[in-house]
Structure 1
Amino acid sequence: MTTRPSIQAFFDDATGTVSYVIADPTSRCAAVVDPVLDFDLRSGRTRTVQAERLLAWLREQGLTVQWILETHAHADHLSAAHWLQQQVGGRIAIGEHIREVQATFKKLYNLERGFLPDGTQFDHLFKDGERFHIGELPAQALLVPGHTPADMAYVVGDAVFVGDTLFMPDVGTARADFPGGDARTLYRSVQRILALPPKTQLFVCHDYPPNGRAPAWETTVAEQRAGNIHVRDGVTEQEFVAMRQTRDATLDVPTLILPSIQINIRAGQLPTPEDDGVSYLKIPLNVLGKAQN
């Protein structure tokens, strides 16, 4: 049985998001990680340009999609999981703590009574440490909270898809100031990943390239431990927490957080159309971010 997946990355320039197709070369079965639905904030229009790039690859390679894996309910892009499932099937999955995130944001958005924060919008909710397969490839879901309570990393053979927990070494780590986030918890989740063998390949969900370098998304445990600007070897938990809290206090609210989370806690489905047949997003006023004078 092979333990080395075939991995194809798709980078979205607009949001800095990296989506992946993980394929088992033997069975031609595949999983998709964090697919992106294009969204124009000014017009309120969605498009499927990024998802169609990914779909074309799946069809070109003759892959059968078993899983559509979300690492968490993203705040910086809308999920194309539901649209992609309509095209190729597969089970949409996320960590079981998505229920906490749904409960938090149901209250923040004052969502309709029919929206239940029970995770049933997804086909499968992973428990920490749960094992599964992509074709013949062994895989495991790891709970790595801190950025949000529901962040998951997916271990497939010798590769780990870390979501927003870690970025490239010269970018650092995710913020921890979203509802339910916690810098101390994030540090411990990072240490869980960095305890894996040094040669383990790590695939990040976002890249925000500094100093004009080209986008990148693949690194290793050894590279992170040696050079991550926020959490390399020698950085203590207390030092990390102080850095993260100080830095997070200076960060703006992500541009797409309000539209994206409404979609992403629904597994990529748009809100139920109203009596005119149109789906609407809600914008709670004076709730998120710091007051501006």
Structure 2
Amino acid sequence: TSADGTITYTNDAMDELFGYKKGGLIGKYPSILNAGPTPEDVTKRIMEAIKKEGYWEGEIQNKRKDGSDFISYAKISALKDNDGNIINYLSTQHDITDRKQAEEQIKASLREKEILLREIHHRVKNNLQIISALLDLQSKHVKDKEAFEMFRESQNRIKSMALIHEQLYQFKDLAKINMAEYIQKLATDLFYSYGVGRDRIELKLKAHDVLLGVNTAIPCGLIINELVSNSLKHAFSDGMEGEISIDLRSNNDHTFRLIVSDSGVGFPKDLDFRNTETLGLQLVITLVKQLKGTIELDRSTGTTFKVTFGD
């Protein structure tokens, strides 16, 4: 176009794109190609960009001579004389309607899959809660203390997995679990399950904005469930007071470190935690291997388990 904005030249591709005969656009203003009036703020941004950068590029809603709309990707450049004065504008346009429609179809498909995935996690959570409730009902008819404890431990393990799926359908990111929120809920449920008050045993939680994928979060949650349960059952006897600490953080080498500790009586010195007959610790060792991680035990003050793993 000329400096005053009238069209002075179009090539064959431009004429064909807009449905005009050769030379049919000469002398007209480009506004006739727009699908409706361009808002003043948009025009202002375009002109400011051309003035500052020498060009502007972006998407424009256009219309052909027959009135049909299409989306084009346009680039407008300013042509200047030796004194820096704008003498012409050069515009190139590409029809991207098919690409935009494909993008919208992909977005719609992703939205549908997101809704479906949330519904799946919701149903999995509900089914796990039903199993937990059935175990609870069955446990009320159990007279043997050891058998009752097995029912309760199974319930807590199922609840730890149900919480993962609850977090997934509630959290904005369907692929990641907010572990700080998850651990808080998990620990609260465990304290309630074992009838332990926070006035006697204090819970200290540190989860530094850690987000884990579901395949890592489930075994990690089960490990926390087993270690905290172990502390609640064995570390504080005869009404002893103390604290349980859960610390989960990300390391600089793309690994994570989980520390579960208590200030209780301490882990028996003559017991090898890697080779015990208790299902809980056997499960912890198996889950750490599943995460391709490592686990260490510090008995110097109370009991401290340190687990390192990747996502």
Q: TM-score, normalised by structure 2?
A: 0.21
Q: Identify the structure with bigger relative contact order (alpha carbons < 8 Å, sequence gap 6+).
A: 1
Larger Cα Rg: Structure 1 or Structure 2? 2
